[in-house]
Amino acid sequence: MSRRTITRRDFLKAASVTPLAGALVPALKGLQAAQTDKVKVVLIRDPSALDASGSPDPAVVFRMLDEAVCAISGRTDALTGWKTLIRPEDIVGIKTNAWGKLPTTSAVEQALRRRVLDAGVPDDKVGIDDRGVLRNPVFQNATALLNARPARTHHWSGMGSCLKNYIQFVPRPSDYHPDTCADLGEIWTKTIVKGKTRLNVLVMFTPLFHGIGPSHFSKAYTWPYNGLIVSRDPVAADATGLRVLEAKRREHFKEDRPLQPTPHHIFLADTRHHVGVSSPDRIELVKLGWTDGALI
């Protein structure tokens, strides 16, 4: 196996995601964090997650989310697991993503809502919203957030990620567009969301692994992965989803074709904004269900 030479271009890329100083080689070694704490990420897949028409099956999705929460919470009973995330006195905002070409899906939204209600939260204390979160009283007063969105490549940020899903929590989302959305992680330190997110669900039913045209979408570049990536850590969820997208791109294009622009907001959320971990070394990946074509 050949070993690719590390060039100054690699160094100038690495320099933005880790506080480097000094010579090239020690700096690159520094990318591998010394920390040993691992965060749990669940990848759950089911061949029957999508029905014959390609729509998510609500019952299957409900079960997949329950199994993921059991794995994350360490509980064998799903509702008990949900109750470790949501308290009856919580006000819960379910942050979805309504982009028409590849939405979070009603199946995921309603499964989350159902489990919030089951955990004892009154109906009027649960809200589902995307672009209206700043005007929505439930989100304005939320004590807990559930964050759910589909995984896709993105024209400007590299990847439409769990991290990026919170861009609607700032009055001017375009303020976070510079340097291809490098500082999306900063949004997660703002009072309206800080410390409130109990679960992140990166929907991987039919991820978009390559984008074209103004809308950056073509069904030709989606595939039935039939999965969900679930974690309490948005950065770890995104970093794991990114591995799947890049593996799919390698498989499809038959060459290593990294996402462009580089989704460096995921790594900077770790190294610059400290809202989660991005290195696979610090992620405990729990794979449940269907394993064919898992890619990671």
Partner 1 sequence: MADQNENRARIMGSYIPRTAGPWLSEADQVYDAETIFGYIDGAGEVYRSYNMKLLVSRSFHKDGKPGLVADIFDMGTSADAFGVFTHDLDGEDAGIGQGSNYKAGLLSFWKDRYFGSVYAEEETEETKAAVLELGREIASAIPGEGPKPVLLAFLPAEGLETGRVCFFHNYSVLNYHFFVADKDILLLDQSADVVLAPYVRGEGKSYLLLVRYPDEAGAARALESFLRVYMPDASPSGTVRTEDGKWTAVLRKRDILAVAFNEPSEIFVRDQLKAAGSLIDEKGRGTH
Contacts of partner 1 in 92-111 (CB under 8 A) = 99
Draw the binding track, 115-154, toward partner 1 (x: CB under 8 A; -: no contact): ---------------------------------------x
- From CA 124, how far away is CA 129, in angstroms rounded? 14
CB 151 within 8 A of CB 161: yes
Contacts of partner 1 in 204-263 (CB under 8 A) = 212-216, 218-221, 260-262
Contacts of partner 1 in 52-91 (CB under 8 A) = none
Nearest approach in angstroms of CB 234 to partner 1 is: 17
Nearer to partner 1, 123 or 172 (CB): 172
What is the three-class DSSP state of 218? coil
Region binding partner 1 by CB under 8 A among candidate stretches 61-69, 113-121, 175-183, 241-249: 175-183
Nearer to partner 1, 125 or 149 (CB): 149
CB 91 within 8 A of CB 146: no
Long-range Cβ contacts of 192-195 (<8 Å, 24+ apart): 192/134, 192/139, 192/140, 193/145, 193/166, 193/169
Q: Give DSSP secondary structure letters for 122-155.
A: -GGGEEEESTTGGG-HHHHT-SEEEEEEEEEEET
CB 204 within 8 A of CB 151: yes
CA distances from residue 135 to 112, 168, 224 in whole angstroms, order as listed: 21, 11, 35
Nearer to partner 1, 189 or 215 (CB): 215
- From CA 178, how far away is CA 195, in angstroms rounded? 25
- From CA 227, how far away is CA 225, in angstroms rounded? 6
Nearest approach in angstroms of CB 264 to partner 1 is: 7
Nearest approach in angstroms of CB 8 to partner 1 is: 6
Q: Which of 9, 29, 135, 254 binds partner 1 (CB under 8 A)?
A: 9
Q: Could you say which DSSP state residue 169 is in?
A: G
Site size for partner 1, by CB under 8 A?
Answer: 35
Asked if 22 interacts with partner 1 (CB under 8 A), we say no
Contacts with partner 1 by CB under 8 A lie at: 5-9, 12-13, 15-16, 99, 154-157, 164, 167, 173-174, 177, 179-181, 212-216, 218-221, 260-262, 264
